[in-house]
């Protein structure tokens, strides 16, 4: 005759399972800040791309120039979408950035990005413009992101390495 069958875990099995869980937790905590930083960079790039697209659409709908300007502290701090002639009116859109993410714009968009009434990016003298914003990862260039503005006004996000290396320069 057989005795009652045991169910449950032994003390050795429980301690072994706890040890494995603790080791996995320690390993994941090491990579968690890197994952958070990577996600912040992706989110900020998508937010800027969406703001650029909405500013372009506003310029077309209103048949007048619309400007995107960085907040005090640069593009990493955030930006505003404004109508240039209406100083007293509130911004059409304002987005707060993530100061820990390094954003390096090309020289022609350090101060602002403007879209004309046709939705094309334009300079102060109404010249055409193509530009990009680089979202830098100092540890891993493979995780680099760029928001690219074509001369036609098309905005897209790219993960391909840029032709010029702006992220290796000094912080601005």
Please report the domains of the chain, with CATH numbers, ordered by start residue. 11-158 (3.55.40.10)
Rounded to whole angstroms, the Cα distance separating 124 from 126 reads 5
pLDDT at 172: 46
DSSP state of 138: S
Q: How far is 157 from 172, CA to CA, in rounded Å?
A: 22
Average pLDDT over residues 14-30: 89
Q: pTM for the complete prediction?
A: 0.80
Residue 29: pLDDT band (50, 70, 90) is confident
Average the pLDDT over 19-36 and give the result.
Answer: 86
Distance of CA 105 to the CA centre of its chain: 12
Place of tokens 């909405």: 54
Whether 116 and 124 have beta carbons less than 8 Å apart is answered as no
Residues 144 and 158: their CA atoms lie apart, in Å, by: 9
What are the start-end ranges of the H helices in the chain? 11-62
């Amino acid at each position: 005759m057989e005795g009652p069958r045991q169910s449950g875990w032994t003390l050795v099995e429980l301690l072994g399972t706890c040890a494995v869980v603790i080791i996995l937790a320690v390993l994941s905590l090491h990579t968690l800040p890197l994952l958070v930083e990577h996600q912040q960079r992706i989110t900020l790039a998508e937010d800027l791309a969406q703001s650029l697209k909405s500013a372009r659409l506003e310029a077309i709908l209103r048949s007048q120039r619309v400007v995107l300007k960085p907040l005090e502290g640069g593009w990493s701090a955030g930006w505003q979408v404004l109508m240039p002639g209406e100083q007293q009116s509130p911004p059409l859109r304002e987005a707060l950035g993530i100061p820990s993410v390094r954003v390096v714009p090309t020289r022609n968009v350090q101060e602002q990005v403007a879209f004309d009434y046709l939705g094309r990016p334009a300079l102060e003298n109404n010249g055409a413009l193509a530009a990009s914003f680089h979202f830098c990862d100092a540890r891993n260039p493979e995780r680099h992101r760029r928001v690219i503005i074509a001369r036609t006004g098309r905005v897209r996000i790219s993960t391909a390495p840029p032709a010029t290396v702006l992220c290796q320069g000094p912080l601005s």
